[in-house]
Amino acid sequence: MKLTLRVWRQRAADADGAMSTYDVDGISPDMSFLEMLDTLNEELILRGEDPVAFDHDCREGICGACSLVINGDAHGPERTTTCQLHMRSFADGDTIDVEPWRASAFPVIKDLVVDRSAFDRIIQAGGYITAPTGAAPEAHATAVPKPDADFAFEHAECIGCGACVAACPNGAAMLFTSAKINHLNVLPQGAPERETRVLDMVERMDDEGFGGCTLAGECATACPKGIPLVSITSMNKEWLRAARKAGKR
């Protein structure tokens, strides 16, 4: 395949960026999108140019490191991560636009790499449980109803990639935050911090400068793990419950 790439190039966080055009040839339809970028970078290095910086780690769709907006879609045209997107989703001769996640809470560090540490701070605010350390407890010691376990698992699938923020017209982190809150709040292990978790994580989310929810639904469309829009509804319910309880104390 022969492709034309238009890639966002930005030397540093405080530098101005712009789209640069590159032609790449000899791309196999079985390559992943990142392998295609590797091919481009090898050429750039041979030519003595600065390779395109982009985030990646597992390349298996499980770590959440890869992050590209491809032709206006976070993670590209398929419902998967950029590393699991293959070039067969494109046609020979295509022009492909590649941009970084855009949100003021995710500033660009270089080219296509953005700083997503705001997510880490949301997790630090309450995305954990207090558990006694030591040997793992007997798995059946705490009974969890099947529907609750399924609900928790569904939300535990979130890999923290940030595609939801990138896709949201308001740069909101509602889908990510709701996935993390719902995952723990439904389980007995998460019960002791049920109220503080949702209040603190939402407060942190707001403090990081993410936007509000207008229920446009772009996040759930972009999410490679299929976290549904209704997760935000569940988070709202948890938040209202916690705010009422906090008001009584």
Partner 1 sequence: MPRTVWDSTLGKKTVMAVSGLIMLAYLVVHMLGNLKIFFGSDEFNGYAHWLRTLGEPFLHYEWALWITRVALVVAVVAHATAAYQLSRRDLRARPAKYVHKKRRASYATRTMRWGGVILGLFIVWHILDLTTGTLHPGGFQSGHPYQNVIDTFSTWYGNVVYLVAVLALGLHIRHGFWSAAQTLGAGSRTRDRALKTTANLLALVLTVGFVSVPVAVMTGVVS
* Per-residue interface string for the shown chain with ligand FES, residues 63-82, x marking contact by CB under 6 A: xxxx--------------xx
Categorise residue 75: left if φ over 0, alpha if ψ from -120 to 50, beta otherwise.
left
Q: Which one-letter amino acid corresponds to residue 49? A: E
Supply 160's token pair. 């923290």
Cα distance between residue 103 and residue 81, in whole Å: 19
Residue choice 4, 117, 124, 233 for contact with partner 1 (CB under 8 A): 233
Q: Does 233 bind ligand HEM (CB under 6 A)?
A: no
Q: Which residues bind ligand SF4 (CB under 6 A)?
A: 158-164, 175-176, 179, 222-225, 227
- In the complex with partner 1, the residue whose CB is nearer, 131 or 215, is 215
> Residue 209, Cα to own-chain centre: how many angstroms?
16
Window 169 to 228, contacts with ligand FES (CB under 6 A): none
Neighbour tally for 89: CB within 10 Å: 14
71 neighbors 55 (Cβ within 8 angstroms): no
Residue whose C-alpha is closest to residue 167's, from 110, 230, 214, 199: 214
- In the complex with partner 1, the residue whose CB is nearer, 97 or 157, is 97
User: Which residue of the chain is nearest ligand HEM when measured via CB?
Assistant: 214
Q: Which one-letter amino acid corresponds to residue 239? A: W
56 binds, among ligand SF4, ligand FES, ligand HEM, none (CB under 5 to 8 A by kind): ligand FES
Window 17 to 46, contacts with partner 1 (CB under 8 A): 19
- Closest contact distance (angstroms) between CB of 36 and partner 1 is 17
Categorise residue 12: left if φ over 0, alpha if ψ from -120 to 50, beta otherwise.
beta
69 binds, among ligand SF4, ligand FES, partner 1, none (CB under 5 to 8 A by kind): partner 1
Q: With CB under 8 A, what is the number of residues at the site for partner 1?
A: 50
